Amino acid sequence: MNGYNFAYLDEQTKRMIRRALLKAVAIPGYQVPFGGREMPMPYGWGTGGMQLTASILGSDDVLKVIDQGADDTTNAVSIRAFFQRVAGVETTTATTSASVIQTRHRIPEAALSHGQILVFQVPIPEPLRFIEPSEQETRLMHALEEYGVMHVKLYEDIARYGHIATTYAYPVKVDDRYVMDPSPIPKFDNPKLHMNEALMLFGAGREKRLYAIPPYTRVESLDFEDHPFEIQAWDECCALCGSETSYLDEVITDDAGNRMFVCSDTDYCMTRRGEVA
Amino acid sequence: MNALLTVENLHKGFVLHGQGGTALEVMHDLSLELRAGECLVLAGRSGIGKSTLLKMLYGNYLARRGSIRLHFSDGPLELTDLPAHAWHPLRRDVIGYVSQFLRVVPRVSAVEVVMEPLLARGADAWDARTKAETLLSRLNLPERLWQLPPGTFSGGEQQRVNIARGFIGEHPLLLLDEPTASLDAANRAEVVALIHEAKARGTAMLGIFHDEDVRSQVADRLLPLDDHLMAKTTHFPGQPS
Amino acid sequence: MNRSVLPRPDLERPALLDVHNVSRLYGPDKGCQEINFRLHAGEVLGIVGESGSGKSTLLRVLAGLEAPDAGHVAYHSANDDTLDLYAISEARRRALLRLEWGLIHQNPRDGLRMGVSAGANIGERLMALGQRHYGQLRAAGQDWMGQVELDPGRIDDAPRTFSGGMQQRLQIARTLVTRPRLVFMDEPTGGLDVSVQARLLDMIRTLVRQLGLSVVLVTHDLAVARLLSHRLLVMRRSRVVEAGLTDQILDDPQHAYTQLLVSSVLTP
């Protein structure tokens, strides 16, 4: 097929990544190093997620790719086209009919079901990196559960802004053990990590780390007793589908400052509009 | 009354390594006995190093030979081989010292300097302050100085702070190194009164007083030292002379 | 001999740290070797000596930061266990440093998180212990700023906006907020103006007394050692050459090197 091995990566590499994924699933939230390969695109465009997708993809899988919730942005379109070409798998934009969903910065609005796999693209896998530049030290901190500094960051937010101002890549504790960076999803999506039916895999290409949240795992967003975790809320509803419960993007419509709020999850929005129509 | 302190055949010397190991003998075969409620005054020519004995009793100087024993209700305690860590509680609870010179943390107020021996025992801060202020006013230290650090005080003012600090703890054994040296008559009389009160409490005191008048008022006995002390011919490095 | 009525004071205090034959050498006589001592509860032990004498190496070994080549350090913990510092797991050792011990660096920038506010610096150890109430963390921060004579109104200011002396006081507050039993101090007043130093010394002395801290203090400044420590170890070329009561070491030094050290001090 096009002179490439199925799903681009060679079988050895895929086996190596699968072994690392098994370890990641066995230790929820723990960052497993893997031998990352060069992908035919630059770092930062989802090379980590793509390697994971390539390793788990089978010929009967149905692949969906989203970028900030949308199926039609450059990144999503290119990656979808890539796997169509090198794996020949069926692709879709419908969340419910996909077996593998690669995502950048969102979890779909539609509830995921048992058997689905969500693959996240991760820029910086290490939640402690902002405070500790040494990899050796952060690993030790994870090993010893020295997580006091995570709350230092949240404390700073409250001291500075009066509330926890971290809105994306909001740190979570997985299965009451490892503190994990859920990738730059909005904190709106954090509750969806908790006890999700789907398997969630995270791949960081530049840093060559992967980690996982197996189905039905407890995932807790860090907070303070007197400043509990809260998700974003909007005064408006989606200007297109009228949803009051989805994550909304603000879209500037002209130079006069007019704007509208629309669902960031295009499939969810289209499906609702189809139902309404 | 019973002996509180016994000193037997005490010897002291210094070895000056900086000067080719010169050995100086400064104290020779000194013995004494001190009872509770008694004030023993060290007598001898000036400049022969009477403070040496006080410094040995306070642990600042090591004895070369001989014995220093404190008598407690359950038996004696030998001080010449007391481990270093035991000196701290011993000084806090038993042996008080009014030195010639005030050595304190700069920028700590006079009243706090005086309170410290009580605070070290965990006394209530308010009680300690009240007692300190009472003593300072008895010693006629102007009230405006109480909240100032004594570093800039005159010699007499510093000495009064030092005396208050020495007497506030009411230690059973009190070493007095020329407490009245730079005081005027009124304050000398106050110190004499403090010593008499301490005696009444049963405090054993060992003191150096140059002032003939004070000496005659406080001394129960004199301890002649001319045969036991030798002036250091060489100034010892690092020593305040 | 007649009977005395004077009750004997309790001169013994429980041991906190036992150091047996500890050696850590980088080269011949570089580092520390054959160190033996016991630290008692409530005691301030000064380690003095010129730079390069091995004081700081010894401190690092004592504080669990650097394994010795030989010998061992036994710590008698709050729950009466005796822990061989380098036989226990690193996790346990680091937990000790976080829970029961404190370390105050000479340079406050080494002990503070310069990027976050004073309040977050003070609260960090509490958060590490599981304190999850923002209001209480903040109250503790303000209380401790007051205790170290910093303006509690500056709780949200970054340490870099503080002067050197204020940063050092902040580091002390950050370390003492969890009430450690044992604190290691490495030249805590080094590099500060003399006037600032005096105030800090008094503060350290008061806190040591009020909290009943045990302290191992490394300093090359004999005046600081005299004011803060009950006992001294004098180090030279990796070895302890003299040990004893602070006043005795400084007034009646026995070893040739100690005599030289004491006689070299400038007194204004």
Cβ within 8 Å, pair C260-B18: yes
Cβ within 8 Å, pair C133-A226: yes
3-state secondary structure chain C: CCCCCCCCCCCCCCEEEEEEEEEEEEECCEEEEEEEEEEECCCEEEEECCCCCCHHHHHHHHCCCCCCCEEEEEEECCCCCEEECCCCCHHHHHHHHHHCEEEECCCHHHHCCCCCCHHHHHHHHHHHCCCCCHHHHHHHHHHHHHHCCCCHHHCCCCHHHCCHHHHHHHHHHHHHCCCCCEEEEECCCCCCCHHHHHHHHHHHHHHHHHHCCEEEEECCCHHHHHHHCCEEEEEECCEEEEEEEHHHHHHCCCCHHHHHHHHCCCCC
| Residue A241: active-site member | yes
Q: Which chain C residues have a beta carbon less than 8 Å from that of A141?
A: none
Q: What does CATH list as the number for B39-62+84-224?
A: 3.40.50.300
Give the pLDDT of residue C4. 72
Q: Which of C3, C226, C244 sits opposite B84 (nearest CB)?
A: C244
Cβ within 8 Å, pair B105-C198: yes
| Residue A237: active-site member | no
* Nearest of C129, C59, C56 to residue C98 by alpha carbon: C129
- Judged by a CB distance cut-off of 8 A, whether residue C201 touches chain B is yes
| Residue A205: active-site member | no
Q: Which chain A residues have a beta carbon less than 8 Å from that of C127?
A: 148-149, 151-152, 155
Q: What is the ipTM of this complex?
A: 0.89
b/e map C141-172, b = 16+ CB within 10 Å? bbebbebbebebebbebbbeebeebbbbbbbb
Distance from CA of B213 to the nearest CA of C (A): 31
Whether residue B85 contacts residue C16, with contact meaning beta carbons closer than 8 Å, is answered with no
**Chain A interface residues (partner C, CB cutoff 8 A):** 131, 140, 143-144, 146-149, 151-153, 155-156, 158-160, 223-227
Cβ within 8 Å, pair B86-C11: yes
Q: What is the pLDDT of residues A72-104, one digit of tens each?
A: 999 999 999 999 999 999 999 999 999 999 999
Distance from CA of B186 to the nearest CA of C (A): 32
Cβ within 8 Å, pair B73-C13: no
Strand-pair category, C239-245 with C231-236: antiparallel
Cβ within 8 Å, pair B107-C251: no
- Judged by a CB distance cut-off of 8 A, whether residue C84 touches chain B is no
Cβ within 8 Å, pair B88-C43: yes
Among candidate residues A46, A48, A49, A269, the one labeled active-site is: A269
Contacts of B66 (CB under 8 A, 6+ apart): B7, B8, B9, B10, B11, B29, B30, B80
Q: How many CA atoms lie within 13 A of B89 on its CB side?
A: 14
| Residue A269: active-site member | yes
Q: What is the pLDDT of residues A110-138, one digit of tens each?
A: 999 999 999 999 999 999 998 888 999 99
Task: Please give the Cα distance from B86 to B80 (Å, whole number).
Answer: 12
Mutation for testing the B interface, residue in C1, C210, C245 having most B CBs under 10 Å:
C245
Residue ranges per domain, chain A?
Answer: 11-221, 233-277
The residue in chain A having the minimum alpha-carbon distance to the alpha carbon of residue C120 is A152
Mutation for testing the C interface, residue in A224, A227, A229, A230 having most C CBs under 10 Å:
A224
Q: Which of C9, C202, C243 sits opposite B94 (nearest CB)?
A: C9
Whether residue C168 contacts residue C200, with contact meaning beta carbons closer than 8 Å, is answered with yes
Rounded mean pLDDT of C163-182?
A: 94
Among candidate residues A36, A69, A203, A241, the one labeled active-site is: A241
Q: What is the pLDDT of residues C215-249, one digit of tens each?
A: 999 999 999 999 999 999 999 999 999 999 999 99
Spans of chain A below 50 pLDDT:
none
Whether residue C7 contacts residue C56, with contact meaning beta carbons closer than 8 Å, is answered with no
The model's confidence at residue C1, banded by pLDDT at 50, 70 and 90, is very low
First to last CA, chain C: 48
pTM for the model stands at 0.87
Give the pLDDT of residue A277. 55
Question: Which residue in the block uniquely carries the two structure tokens 């419910």?
Answer: A96
Q: What does CATH list as the number for A11-221?
A: 3.40.50.11310
Rounded mean pLDDT of C44-69?
A: 94
Strands (E), A122-181: 172-174, 178-180
Cβ within 8 Å, pair C6-B73: yes
Cβ within 8 Å, pair B87-C202: no
Distance from CA of C193 to the nearest CA of B (A): 13
Q: What share of chain A is helix, strand, coil (3-state, %, to 5)?
A: 30, 20, 50
| Residue A29: active-site member | yes
Task: Please give the Cα distance from C259 to C148 (Å, whole number).
Answer: 36
Q: In order along chain B (241 residues), what is the average pLDDT of each group of 10 residues?
A: 87 90 88 94 85 94 94 94 94 93 81 94 94 96 94 90 95 94 91 96 94 92 86 49 37
- Judged by a CB distance cut-off of 8 A, whether residue C9 touches chain B is yes
b/e map B182-213, b = 16+ CB within 10 Å? ebeeebbebbbebbeebbeebbbbbbbbebee
Contacts of B13 (CB under 8 A, 6+ apart): B23, B24, B25, B26, B27, B64
